[in-house]
Amino acid sequence: MGLRRLHRGAVACEPRHPSWFAPAVDSMLADLKIARVAADPPRAKVDAQPGGWPGLAYFRLHGSSRMYFSAYEDAFLDALERWVRRLSSTGDVWVIFDNTATRAAADNARSLMGRLAR
Whether the model pTM is above 0.85 = yes
Calpha distance 38→23 (Å, rounded): 15
Asked whether residue 87 is assigned to any structural domain, the reply reads: yes
Mean pLDDT split into 10-residue runs, the chain, 118 residues: 85 91 95 95 86 96 93 97 96 96 96 97
Asked whether residue 20 is assigned to any structural domain, the reply reads: no
Asked whether residue 9 is assigned to any structural domain, the reply reads: no
Calpha distance 48→25 (Å, rounded): 16
Residue 53's pLDDT is: 96
Asked whether residue 42 is assigned to any structural domain, the reply reads: yes
Residue 78 CB coordination number (10 Å): 12
Q: Give the domain extent around 103.
A: 33-117
Q: Where is 81: in which H helix or E strand? A: helix 74-87
Asked whether residue 3 is assigned to any structural domain, the reply reads: no
Residue 35's pLDDT is: 97
Number of independent structural domains in the chain? 1
The residue type of 49 is Q
Residue 30's pLDDT is: 96
The residue type of 59 is F
Q: Cα separations (Å) of 100 from 64, 70, 72, 105, 108?
A: 12, 9, 12, 5, 10
Asked whether residue 25 is assigned to any structural domain, the reply reads: no
Asked whether residue 19 is assigned to any structural domain, the reply reads: no
